Amino acid sequence: METIEKILPKDFVTDQEVRWCPGCGDYSILKQAQSVLAEIGIKREDTVFVSGIGCSSRFPYYMETYGMHSIHGRATAIASGLKAARPDLNIWIVTGDGDALSIGGNHFIHLLRRNFNVNVLLFNNEIYGLTKGQYSPTTRKGTINKSAPMGTIDHPFNPLALCMGAGGTFIARSMDRDPKHLREILLRASKHKGTSLVEIYQNCNVFNDGAFFPFTEKESKQNETIFLENNQPIIFGPSRTMGIKLDGFKPVIVNLEEGNSANDLWIHDEADPIKASILTRFFDDVTIPGHLPRPFGVFYTETRACYEDEMEAQIVTAIESKKRGNLDALLRGKNIWEIK
Amino acid sequence: MEPVQQKKISRISELKKEVTILFAGDSGDGIQLTGSQFTDTSALFGNDVSTFPDFPAEIRAPQGTLAGVSGFQLRFGSVEIYTPGDVCDVFVAMNAASLKANIKKLIPGGILIANISGFDKKNLGLAKYPEGINPLEDGSLGKFRLYTMDITKMTKAALADSGMGTKEIERSKNMFVLGFLYWMYNRSMSRSIDFFKEKFKGKPHLIEANIKVLNAGYNFGETSETFSSQYEVKPAPMPKGVYRNIMGNQATALGLIAASEKSGLGLFYGSYPITPASDILHELSKHKNFGVKTFQAEDEIAAATSAIGASFGGALGVTASSGPGIALKGEAIGLAVMYEIPLVIIDVQRGGPSTGLPTKTEQADLFQAMYGRNSEAPVAILAASSPSDCFETIFEACRIAVEHMTPVFFLSDGYIANGAEPWKFPKGDGLGKITPKFAEENPEGTPFLPYKRDSKLARPWALPGRKGFEHRIGGIEKENETGNISYDPENHQLMVKIRAEKISRIADFIPPQKINTGQEKGEVLVLGWGSTFGAITMAVKDLIGDGYSVSHAHLRYINPFPKNLGEILKNFSLVLIPEMNNGQLVSIIRDKFLVDAIGFNKIKGVPFTSEEIKKEVLRILGVSVPN
């Protein structure tokens, strides 16, 4: 992948009219993606956006790159085949909570464990938007919606805990309403070698408006969120006076103004899988008193061989040890006889 | 135990035109290995051969039971051989259960070789013979030439000093049988000895043990008084050339590699293990030095969609399965129809529906290939007719997929997938060329139109990495030429018609249908497809020999049909279509040509015998057939 100079975000805009609902969080994500691609300077022709089905999956039509809009849940599997065949390409998968975690759940976990070098943007709006408002596998229990007029009885997924369990090598969370953070995380994701998974809290202002307001709106954001920074203590709060300390394996909230020192706080370490696992469990219902704030940023990174590289390496080894295959020798096989 | 049927035959060498041997025993007895070794040796000797392995679905069915019986039927001859045989001349029964399950296949007067140790009280009980009854001793096998030998005991004796454990020794008893049959048919053991040397490389004690037992079997034939006859089956008068032995799934794998080499496209094979298709995956994964990429996906859907992704990137995308897996791939195949990119879908058919009969054969997925998707989603369909024909047919399937930018179904089935025959293999140079339809350069300033078509109605294939060709494709209906999303009513009708016409036009690029056996006109046309080829050929040859006006045409191209098929059908008063299903091709033929074709269906998980087809032809001709 060569890089070129001076490609601009507008160069990634297509001639297609963007058809998301006015006010949808997807617009912000599209803008940041176009900006990040311009910044990393990868050629448009070397980039492929792959999506499944859902509101977010219209994304490829709006990116002036190669693109595949596919079928429900299968973007991850399609991208796996594409990356295996063409390791040289820069591949982005755009998916949603229904697409990735419900109908495509199987492919999603297998993508993570194989660690193809691709980027996954998981738009989580905790609802089915395109089909007009049924609950999704991330919808909070008890939520009233079209297919659950008495409230959902499904226990929701904790997406990032699932990703840790599936062996993901880059696990991060951001939100549509914090473009600066989103941009920073997308940049980091694009630079990670391996599958980069970014869960993006995205507001569906039509069917699930305000699902993430505690984390995204000014009044509550400071108290309800942690913005992770590698090698830094975990501090939050409107005047950054709150922190998280590990009591054994149990995270506890401490007040730095009440005699606790910043030196005793949990120092975020992106390379520590145990700590990252605990962080993904910061998933409390915000209505519960004493709940933990929700972390954003990069939870975990790991350097691990990518599937497509190992696949290529086996081919190289096979050619080294057996020589490049010869078709005539293959067809002939080992035991032949002649009829004269 | 003194068998009551023991007969002596004089020590002479008898000449035989063709012989069918059935090896049967417990699935742990190494029956398949014995059969395939005898096949390879006979083929190498110059016989024409045809095989039919028949094994239980369970890997380790309870030992000694009827459920655990594994068989391998092999026909070889100095004449042309089309099928593994309707009945057998020689039957090797390693245990009581295998005798019970297969004795009906042995002709009266046929040779029955029984392993005494496999007929002890325990084995007789497991085979559900009544208490105190041993078929080897009660005279019930009187119409056969019964030879009993204690194969287990003699194997143990041969390996007494080997230091091997009892279990390991017992596992070698199949090699005793093989050695004995090599003696009986005057065959060289060198091919099998080479095989042991390669298979057990680095384990000299196993090489030695197997050779010892093989020799013991051979020498037993030579020295034992019981067996005083050897048989000779001379090489077959086959067309001049160089041959090898090949199994159907192996031929399919080689055909894919050949298509990859001839098209210049890297082969990507997305697959999820399933009987009887998995051997293609096993074979391909051995040939990474051809740049082959095999991807064992997490499920059938990922197997298909990964191949679609690879194809978008410019690979020769192939996915394979058997019926149940194809059902799961249906939506993805529909997507490839919309994408209009090359995709080859291999269906090695087995008995269904649902899990059905995993290790038994059937041809009942033709409707699934033809119609098994939502809405109007036509694809090309080809079917292979014999193990070696899998090579040419899959090569053709790849050519059509790549040159016409379409998904193509390749139908095989358990019978030919696991069957073997001699193959006069081609030279790479002799294979046709496959020319991918890559997008041509655009005149300056004009946009790339991903759905602008050529005279075949194929769209251009623009691979990621090419500047100026960035485009988006999707499963949503597209506007003609631009490929942009379109919900326009007129456009949808146009696109449905174009996609159908694109498949129809393939007929302009395939050879006309020929009559495989018999005259161009006549009373009966037997129209077949797929693995019924051998049985129909034999039946029709016999009938012509008996003076009947019968011809045989065998279809490789099922969608679209060759353009002259309608004319051929009109040249016969009667059209008979034998199929291992409940009447699928017959229904398509009646639909397309308004011909009153007669179906003949066998849905038993086993192939037609030529006798069955012969009788049916005579029946529709109104000739009375004695039963």
What is the per-residue pLDDT for B162?
86
Q: Which residue has the tokens 């940023």?
A: A297
C-alpha–C-alpha distance, residues B304 and B345, integer Å = 8
pLDDT computed for residue B627 by the predictor:
59
Token reading at A111? 């993508």
- Whether B8 has a pLDDT exceeding 50, the answer reads no
Q: Is A60 on the interface with B (CB under 8 A)?
A: yes
Contacts of B475 in chain A (CB under 8 A): 53, 69-71
pLDDT (0 to 100) of residue A251:
97
Chain A contact set for B392 (CB, 8 A): none
Q: Is B79 on the interface with A (CB under 8 A)?
A: no
Query: Which of B538, B553, B593, B597 lies closest to B573, judged by CA?
Result: B597
Do B239 and A336 lie within an 8 Å CB cutoff?
A: no
- Mean pLDDT for each consecutive 10-residue tract of chain A (340 residues)? 72 93 94 94 95 95 97 98 98 97 98 98 96 96 95 97 98 97 97 98 96 96 97 96 95 93 94 98 95 98 98 98 97 88
The DSSP symbol for B505 reads: G
* Mean pLDDT of all residues in B577-588: 98
Best probe of the A interface among B374, B472, B473, B487, by most A CBs < 10 A, is: B472
Would an 8 Å CB–CB cutoff place A113 in contact with chain B? Answer: no
Instruction: Give the pLDDT score at B398.
Output: 98
Is B464–A48 a contact, with Cβ atoms under 8 angstroms apart? yes
Tokens of A116: 């193809």
Number of H helices, E strands in chain A: 11, 12
Note whether B325 and B300 are within 8 A (CB).
yes
Query: What mean pLDDT is predicted for residues B292-312?
Result: 98
pLDDT reading at B11 higher than 70: no
Task: Please state, in angstroms and rounded to a whole number, the distance separating the CA atoms of residues A48 and B465.
Answer: 9
DSSP A58: G
Tokens of B193: 């000895």
pLDDT of residue B3: 40
Are A328 and A336 in contact, with CB atoms under 8 Å apart? no
Q: Which of residues 9-68 of B touch A (CB under 8 A)?
A: 40, 43-46
Question: Is the complex ipTM higher than 0.95?
Answer: yes
Residue A298, strand partner residues: A172
Q: Inform me whether the C-beta atom of residue A249 falls under 8 Å from chain B C-beta atoms.
A: no
Q: Which of A43, A106, A327 sits opposite B261 (nearest CB)?
A: A327
Q: From the list A78, A323, A324, which residue is nearest B309 (CB)?
A: A78
What CA–CA distance (Å, rounded) separates B390 from A116? 34
Q: How far is B44 from chain A (nearest CA, A)?
A: 6
Is residue B580 within 8 Å of B363, Cβ to Cβ? yes
DSSP secondary structure string for all residues of A177-204: T-HHHHHHHHHHHHH-SS-EEEEEE---
Residue in this structure with the two tokens 């978008």, named with its chain if needed: B312
In 3D space, the residue among A12, A157, A10, A203 whose CA is nearest the CA of residue A92 turns out to be A12
Residue whose entry in the numeric block shows the structure tokens 């998707």 = B373
The tokens describing A331, both together, are 């067809």
Mind spelling out the 3-state secondary structure of B359-413?
A: CCCCCCCHHHHHHCCCCCCCCEEEECCCCCHHHHHHHHHHHHHHHHCCEEEEEEE
Six token digits for residue B93: 């029964």
Mean predicted confidence (pLDDT) in B402-408: 98
A148, A135 contact by CB (below 8 A) = yes
> Is the Cβ of A48 closer than 8 Å to some Cβ of chain B?
yes
**pLDDT at B1 (0 to 100):** 38
- Mean of all residue pLDDT scores within chain B: 93
Find chain B residues with C-beta within 8 A of A42's C-beta.
none
Is the per-residue pLDDT at B128 higher than 60?
Answer: yes
Q: Contact at 8 Å (CB) between B572 and B549?
A: no
- Give the model's pLDDT for residue A5: 59
Cis peptide before A273 (omega within 30 of 0): no
pLDDT-derived band at B191 (thresholds 50, 70, 90) equals: very high
Q: In Å, how far is A280's CA from the nearest CA of chain B?
A: 26
Q: Is residue B313 less than 8 Å (CB to CB) from chain A?
A: yes
CATH for B245-430 (3.40.50.970, 3.30.70.100, 3.40.50.720, 3.40.190.10): 3.40.50.970
> Distance between CA atoms of B387 and B418, rounded to whole angstroms?
8
Q: Set out the domains of chain A in order of their start, with CATH numbers.
A: 9-211 (3.40.50.970)
Averaged pLDDT, B460-475: 96
Residues of A in contact with B289 (CB under 8 A): 315, 318-319, 321-325
Cβ pair A106:B306 closer than 8 A: no
Half-sphere exposure of A13 (CA within 13 A, CB side): 10
At B37, which helix (H) or strand (E)?
Answer: helix B31-45
| Neighbour tally for B606: CB within 10 Å | 16
Q: Which of A44, A81, A314 sits opposite B305 (nearest CB)?
A: A81
Angle, CA A312 vertex, CA A81 and CA B287 arms, to 5°:
90
Measured between beta carbons, the chain A residues lying within 8 angstroms of B238 are: 339
Q: For B522-620, which CATH class? A: alpha beta
Q: Would you state the CATH architecture of domain B13-233? A: 3-Layer(aba) Sandwich (3.40)
- Predicted confidence at residue B235, as pLDDT, reads 85
Asked if the C-beta of A155 comes within 8 angstroms of chain B's C-beta atoms, the answer is: no
Question: Is the alpha carbon torsion for B491, B493, B499, B502 positive or negative?
Answer: negative
Cβ distance of B241 and A46 shorter than 8 Å: no
Question: d(Cα B115, Cα B155) in Å, to the nearest integer?
Answer: 11
pLDDT in tens, B43-101: 988 899 999 988 777 767 788 899 889 999 999 999 999 999 989 999 999 999 999 99
Residues in B closer than 8 angstroms to A323, CB to CB, are 289
State whether B305 and A71 contact (CB < 8 Å): yes
Q: Closest partner residue to A85 among B242, B310, B472, by Cβ?
A: B310
In the prediction, which pLDDT does B225 show?
66
Contact B268 A81 (CB under 8 A): yes
Q: Which residues on A lie below 8 Å from B237 (Cβ)?
A: 339
User: What distance in Å separates residue B563's CA from the closest CA in chain A?
Assistant: 32
Whether A84 sits inside 8 A of B261 (CB atoms) is no
Interhelix angle B204-223/B151-158, rounded to 10 degrees, is: 130
Residue B624 pLDDT level (bands cut at 50, 70, 90): confident
Radius of gyration, CA atoms only, chain B: 27
- Choose among A45, A48, A84: nearest Cβ to B268: A84
Give the tens place of pLDDT for each residue, B502-551: 999 999 999 999 999 999 999 999 999 999 999 999 999 999 999 999 99
SS (H, E, C) B70-130: EEEEEEEECCCCCCCCCCEEEEEECCHHHHHHHHHHEEEEEEEEEEHHHHCHHHHHHCCCC
Is the per-residue pLDDT at B248 higher than 70? yes
pLDDT of residue B166: 86
Q: Do B332 and A314 touch (CB under 8 A)?
A: no
Residues 288-317 of A with CB under 8 A from B: 311, 314-315, 317
Query: Among B312, B448, B473, which would you mutate to test the A interface (most chain A Cβ atoms within 10 Å of its Cβ)?
Result: B312
Question: Is B234 in the A-facing interface, judged by CB distances under 8 Å?
Answer: no
Q: Do domains B13-233 and B522-620 have the same CATH topology?
A: no
**Within 10 A of B448 (CB to CB), how many other CB atoms are there?**
18
User: Phi then psi for B196, rounded to 5 degrees?
Assistant: -60, -40
Going by the DSSP 8-state scheme, the letter that residue A57 receives in this structure is G
B222: confidence class by pLDDT, cuts 50, 70, 90: confident
> Cβ contact (<8 Å) for A110 and B298?
yes
Q: Identify the CA nearest to B352 among candidates B605, B583, B600, B529.
A: B605
Cis peptide before B353 (omega within 30 of 0): yes
* Whole-structure pTM value: 0.91
Please tell me what DSSP assigns to residue A157.
P
With a CB cutoff of 8 Å and minimum separation 6, the contacts of B590 are B596, B597
Under an 8 A CB cutoff, do B331 and A319 touch?
no
Q: Is B246 in contact with A333 (Cβ distance < 8 A)? A: yes
User: Which B positions 189-228 lie with beta carbon below 8 A of chain A?
Assistant: 191
Q: Where are the domains of chain B?
A: 13-233, 245-430, 522-620
Taking the CA atoms of A282, A286, A289 and A290 in sequence, report the sign of the dihedral they define. Answer: positive
Shortest CB distance from A330 goes to which of B239, B257, B306? B257
Contact of B133 with chain A, judged by CB distance below 8 Å, is answered with: no
Alpha-carbon distance B488 to B492, whole Å?
Answer: 6
CB contact under 8 A, B243 and A338: yes
- A261 reaches B (C-beta below 8 A): no
Is there a contact between B305 and B318 (Cβ–Cβ < 8 Å)? no
CA distances from B239 to B82, B255, B364, B438, B478 (A): 15, 22, 34, 40, 52
DSSP 8-state class, residue A100: I
Distance, CA of A232 to chain centre:
23
Where b means 16+ CB within 10 Å and e means fewer, B153-184 reads: ebbbebbeebebeeeebbbbbbbbbbbbbbbb
| Best CA proximity match to B341, nearest among B460, B503, B509 | B460
